[in-house]
Structure 1
């Protein structure tokens, strides 16, 4: 049952944007653990609707439900991991969120080669069930428990997470002191720089992540590999997914040594170069593209002869590989990690919800308006615009993003309080 790629992707991103709002509420009211367990419900029902779909509207509803669950998950998982992790390994564990995401995408690509789409939906319905089972054995985060004045449960959670023979009293006191200072968040408190500064940083990181053009580049991936004589476009997706997994794993391994800012800067520079090269590629193969900016332009005979004439397919393939590599080592995993680190406990749910909402709304806008950008700016102009945003990413990182490597969440919160009060 065919679906329009743009419509399908747009439906998912809108559902995920709504999930960000819901997740921001649930993570504060229900807790981190219960929110994760409950978000399995829309996942399972969404895949059931896709499996049993008899018309396109059932597919859309299923995609909305899975998108809603994705939005909640993309908020709660980074928060949960950051609150249970030791400061020395928080970067590695936080980056593993994105690593698991791209690993799952790669698994879906590989399975999609052999499975029909209904059976692929059946396969995808199993991980949410496993999440419920595994999370039932995990504790709630000590920070949330202490914020709820559940001291015995918090101590038990620390013993579970750090081990019974580790001296966890210092960590408990630090968390407890911070939790005692927390109270309900009011809008008036957003006048305080210690609240709105991290809020601005988090939202801006999510905006810039999508403004890099990741969805646009991924949209072109199969087409570029086809021009490079890849007969099976599905194998091209596997290649792209493998690059993402490999370099996201590299980022996870080195992030607690290099720091967040260094990787964000390197990532932004690599993506700026690669998208600029993309623009050069399209400029060279389509010298008269002002009259032909539709995304299907590379399938036209004139374009194919132009590609052969310039023999620049290698540039597109190299640019694609560089872009995915750059995104995977920095702007893919790190905005989610920083989002989970910089907000004070009392603002964590609301601020994280705003970040996730921004991310998925930007993903929706880039996906939906990409064709219009191509019409207005031409293909090379559009990719040069993405390159300019990547340069802005680097400038924003250098000027505004604090380094959180090796700091506890309480130390990060104290940094904002000291710096802006």
Structure 2
């Protein structure tokens, strides 16, 4: 598969046909996947932290629990679930600052600090307050990684692999879920924390040897370092990357001539990119995904299903991995819009079925007893279709839509907005479910997925196979250079 990013054009540059090293040299596409995979080991750690509450809540609430001196209350459990998202609201601003000042690579690696602090607090917790603090530190890491990780992957990718690498986030976060879902119920509370620390150490050791993005070096006017890391990423000689490097440098120079301000987010194509990103993360969070994941064990217990909640949770985690593995394979073939449309439909149906079951159960309808399989079926449908679109693609699209000069400003704001919504969902899911019914709450989530379908259908642009410049032209309503040619 040949690289197409920043394809060297001898007509526009005045070069002769013999001066086309970038087109002639194929490179090694697999290098991009290895490097992006190494970056996303950090996302495995965040998945571990996000799924942590599912197997740990029963250990904390058990009548005989002495982990923090006494069993935690239902209100404390709700705060434990939601405080990660509080940290994640502030993490993106740390990540955005780090990405622009010390680089995308070191911005990703900096997330290891709050991750380790969080695990140490959990390991030494003698009060529920220490668990609260640990969850906030984990949230900081989540916010950093969900901001800088997609930025890093987008900047090392060619146009025809950017969708696949952007979809890695959802795939790798599910690896974290399955690790904690599988180990959590069968090992001690302390052992769970040691497993998490081992994941963080593996992330730091592996990613330390990966390159910085060439775009970061170009923003610092360091063309030699940019060329060296581009050679590593593409698996090409210096002459083989020169054409791509020249076009990258030209785009960076044009971008650096502009100074992005907060007001720039509300102008022209930037505003369109910003509100599309915000609406997509709204759809992602109001699908109820974090409520489902954080309280999955409790949901299975509430169904009265014969299947052990811990076993059912592991099954769902395995389904997540299988579904998430599909998106990187098809994102650059089917496109972002089609996958988002399929995802919105599937999640709406899954949530509708789940809501119907709980409404029947709440009304003590005899049919609920014979439909014990329905929650598992509905959750599988919901998780599978969520992993195809609403899970990974808002992050992938966000990494593609913003121009270079506003990316470090816009991405943290959109990501922080996402986690504000996540906090509201996780903190008040139980409260709303008690007030109006669990079934009705899932139906509300389903209605949001229906809204996501129509927003995608009428507003979201297709970015498949387009260069960053073509995307900016499209958002601004201009014809791209390629289309003009």
Maintained 8 Å contact 1:174/1:410: no
Distance 1:187 1:322 in 2: 40
RMSD: 2.1
Secondary structure at 2:437 match in 1 = helix
Equivalence for 2:45: none
Q: Distance in 2 between matches of 1:46 and 1:217?
A: 23
Task: Please state which structure has a larger fraction of its residues in helix.
Answer: 1
Partner of 1:300: none
Q: Paired residue for 2:332?
A: 256
1:205 aligns to 2:264 (yes or no): no
Counterpart Cα distance in 2 of 1:5 and 1:207: 24
- Per the TM alignment, residue 236 of structure 1 is displaced from its structure 2 partner at its CA by 1.5
Structure 1 residues 63, 320: CA separation in 2 closer, same or farther (over 3 Å shift)? same
Measured after TM superposition, the shift of residue 375 of structure 1 is: 4.3
User: C-alpha deviations, 1:58-92, integer Å up to 9, x for none?
Assistant: 22212211111111011111110110011111111
CA distance in 2, matches of 1:413, 1:309: 52
Listed as ranges, the gaps of 5+ residues in structure 1 are: 288-302
Q: Which residue of 2 aligns with 1:293?
A: none
CA contact (8 A) 1:155 1:172 kept: yes
Q: Equivalences for 1:17-28 in 2 at 5 Å?
A: 17-28=89-100
Q: Note closer, same or farther for the CA distance 1:31–1:184 as it changes in structure 2 (3 Å cut).
A: farther
Distance 2:78 2:431 in 1: 13
Contact 1:13 1:361 in 2 (8 A): yes
Alignment length, in residue pairs?
A: 404
- Contact 2:265–2:410 (Cα < 8 Å) also in 1: no
Alignment match of 1:284 (pick from 360, 366, 385): 360
Residues 327, 387 of structure 2: 8 Å contact kept? yes
**Aligned-residue offset at 1:244:** 0.7
Distance 1:59 1:371, change over 3 A: closer
The residue aligned with 2:82 is: 10
Asked if the contact 1:221/1:320 (under 8 Å) is kept, the reply is no
Partner in structure 2 of residue 40 of structure 1? 112
Whether 1:92 aligns to 2:164 is yes
Contact kept? 2:305, 2:372, Cα under 8 Å: no
Match of 1:407 in 2: 466
1:83-111 Cα deviation digits (max 9, x unpaired): 00111111112211211110111011112
CA contact (8 A) 1:194 1:420 kept: no
Match of residue 398 from structure 2: 339
Q: What is the match of residue 27 of structure 2?
A: none
State the distance in 2 between where 1:328 and 1:155 align: 35
Change (3 A) 1:242 1:344: same
**2:37 is matched with which residue?**
none
Using a 3 Å threshold, how does the CA distance of structure 1 residues 131 and 316 change in structure 2: closer, same or farther?
closer
Deviation at 1:14, TM superposition (A): 0.5
CA distance in 1, matches of 2:221, 2:101: 14
Aligned equivalents of 1:212 and 1:72: distance in 2? 23
Shift of 1:400: 1.6
CA distance in 2, matches of 1:213, 1:321: 14
- Residue deviations 1:348-396 (CA, integer Å, cap 9, x gap): 1111101211111111101112233234433333222111110110111
- Distance in structure 2 (CA, Å) of the matches to 1:345 and 1:312: 52
Question: Where does residue 12 of structure 2 map in the other structure?
Answer: none
1:203, CA displacement in angstroms?
Answer: 1.3
Cα-to-partner distance string for 1:213-239 (whole Å, 9 max, x where unaligned): 113333564355444644532112101
Q: CA, structure 1 residues 109+179, in 2 after alignment: closer, same or farther (shift >3 Å)?
A: same
Which residue matches 1:56? 128
Aligned to 2:201: 129
The worse-fitting range, judged by mean Cα deviation, of 167-176 and 357-366 is 167-176
CA distance in 2, matches of 1:193, 1:411: 15
Correspondence for 1:322 among 381, 384, 398: 381
